[in-house]
């Protein structure tokens, strides 16, 4: 006897109304994103709105790919921070470097990828695919970083959360002088107490300027181990306080792994009891079979302890360009979700580390701290 078909036909019929042209983004997603990767975008929007943005969820965000040069920091990421939808961030250093252009009054321009790069080089124009800007933008931004990183506040060892907090403070001051409003991701994170980490601090022009200063014997020294422990402490404290942990990963690379590795650090390395992140939302154009997404699909992540196997249904992967998906996700939750009170985790980093430290097995109490 064949299996009954009813359970497989329980979804709503695909019968959308005709578009009129006056739909909101949120309505468009709910009514017409019905299948394929549009369906995954709808599921991602609803997961973020209905579950991940509950007050008892701590949301980590990873950023990779050239998002801020395309204006996505100002259009999408800053509103997410200002509405309390993001609690901690791991980004490539390049995103934070290019984000700073806007905060210090420099401009990037829409262009075309179909140009002669040899001609651009002669005219001192830099290209990021179809984004064009004057080479002097890099020189002025480097000058800004070289000057502020020479300031007394930076003359010590620190993690990247403190590094970016201090940079955000200086950028916010420059925004105020230039009467720009908040146009920088780092400025918004500074104002709202959102810690921003970089998993590879030497892999950007910010890191390059730090390296240049160290040739003179000045500037910050970055403690990458502190970043590993602080991010793990954020997740551990969340879960032990009977709250839930959600991760939103825009693209892949090192930032994606850094937000996910918090759980193996807790379970595998520290030997603390934990089950994994509760909510998993990823936007990517990578594939697992080529190694570009290996170990990071929700199901594979379960085997690493990165995702709670009991929460696997609360996982969505949308195989879509982030520059398309992020504005849709942002507009959807701004329309549907109430504002959350920010957790201001930057100011609580010491408290969270102490909370995790007291639970460490004896061998780690003596060897690691």
CB proximity list for 38: less than 8 A, separation 6 or greater: 32
In a domain, 261, yes or no: yes
Please choose, from the candidates 194, 198, 188, the residue with its C-alpha nearest in 3D space to the C-alpha of residue 78: 188
Q: Which CATH number fits the domain that encloses residue 40?
A: 3.40.910.10
In a domain, 367, yes or no: no
Helix 349-357 and helix 224-240, axial crossing angle in degrees, nearest 10:
70
In a domain, 42, yes or no: yes
Cβ–Cβ < 8 Å for 265, 274: no
Cβ–Cβ < 8 Å for 203, 98: no
Predicted TM-score (pTM) of the model is 0.94
From first to last of its 369 residues, what are the pLDDT tens digits of the chain?
556 667 888 888 999 999 999 999 999 999 999 999 999 999 999 999 999 999 999 999 999 999 999 999 999 999 999 999 999 999 999 999 999 999 999 999 999 999 999 999 999 999 999 999 999 999 999 999 999 999 999 999 999 999 999 999 999 999 999 999 999 999 999 999 999 999 999 999 999 999 999 999 999 999 999 999 999 999 999 999 999 999 999 998 899 999 999 999 999 999 999 999 999 999 998 888 888 776 678 877 778 787 778 777 889 999 999 999 999 999 999 999 999 999 999 999 999 999 999 999 876 655 555
Number of folded domains that form the chain: 1
Angle at 80 between CA 266 and CA 318, to 5 degrees: 70
Active site includes 306? yes
In a domain, 46, yes or no: yes
In a domain, 121, yes or no: no
The single residue of 239, 256, 306, 343 carrying the catalytic annotation is 306
In a domain, 344, yes or no: yes
In a domain, 103, yes or no: no
Domain range holding 163? Answer: 24-92+158-202+222-358
Please choose, from the candidates 270, 192, 200, the residue with its C-alpha nearest in 3D space to the C-alpha of residue 236: 270
In a domain, 132, yes or no: no
């Amino acid at each position: 006897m064949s299996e009954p078909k009813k359970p497989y036909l329980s979804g709503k019929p695909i019968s959308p109304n005709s578009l009129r042209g006056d739909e909101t983004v949120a309505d468009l997603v709910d009514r017409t994103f019905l299948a394929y990767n549009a369906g995954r975008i709808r599921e991602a929007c609803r997961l973020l709105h209905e579950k991940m943005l509950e007050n008892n969820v701590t949301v980590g965000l990873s950023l990779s790919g050239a998002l801020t040069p395309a204006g996505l920091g100002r259009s999408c990421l800053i509103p997410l921070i200002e509405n309390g939808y993001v609690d901690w961030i791991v980004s490539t250093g390049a995103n934070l470097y290019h984000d700073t252009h806007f905060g210090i009054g420099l401009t990037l321009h829409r262009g075309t990828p179909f140009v002669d790069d040899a001609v651009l080089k002669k005219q001192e124009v830099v290209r990021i695919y179809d984004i064009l800007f004057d080479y002097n933008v890099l020189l002025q931004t480097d000058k800004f970083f070289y000057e502020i990183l020479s300031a007394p506040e930076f003359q010590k060892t620190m993690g990247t959360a403190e590094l970016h907090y201090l940079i955000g403070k200086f950028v916010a001051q420059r925004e105020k002088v230039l009467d720009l409003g908040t146009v920088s991701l780092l400025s918004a994170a500074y104002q709202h107490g959102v810690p921003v980490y970089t998993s590879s601090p030497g892999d950007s022009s910010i890191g390059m300027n730090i390296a240049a200063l160290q040739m003179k014997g000045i500037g910050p020294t970055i403690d990458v181990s502190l970043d590993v422990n602080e991010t793990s402490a954020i997740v551990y404290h969340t879960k032990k306080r009977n709250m839930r942990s959600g991760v939103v990963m825009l693209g892949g690379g090192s930032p994606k792994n850094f937000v996910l590795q918090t759980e193996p650090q807790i379970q595998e390395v520290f030997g603390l009891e934990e089950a994994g992140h509760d909510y998993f939302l990823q936007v990517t154009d990578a594939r697992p079979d080529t190694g570009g997404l290996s170990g990071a699909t929700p199901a594979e992540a379960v085997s690493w302890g990165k995702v709670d196997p009991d929460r696997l249904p609360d996982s969505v992967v949308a195989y879509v360009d982030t520059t398309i998906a992020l504005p849709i996700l942002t507009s959807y939750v701004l329309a549907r979700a109430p504002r959350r009170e920010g957790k201001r985790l930057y100011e609580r980093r010491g408290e969270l580390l102490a909370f995790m430290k007291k639970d460490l097995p004896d061998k780690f109490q003596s060897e690691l701290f």
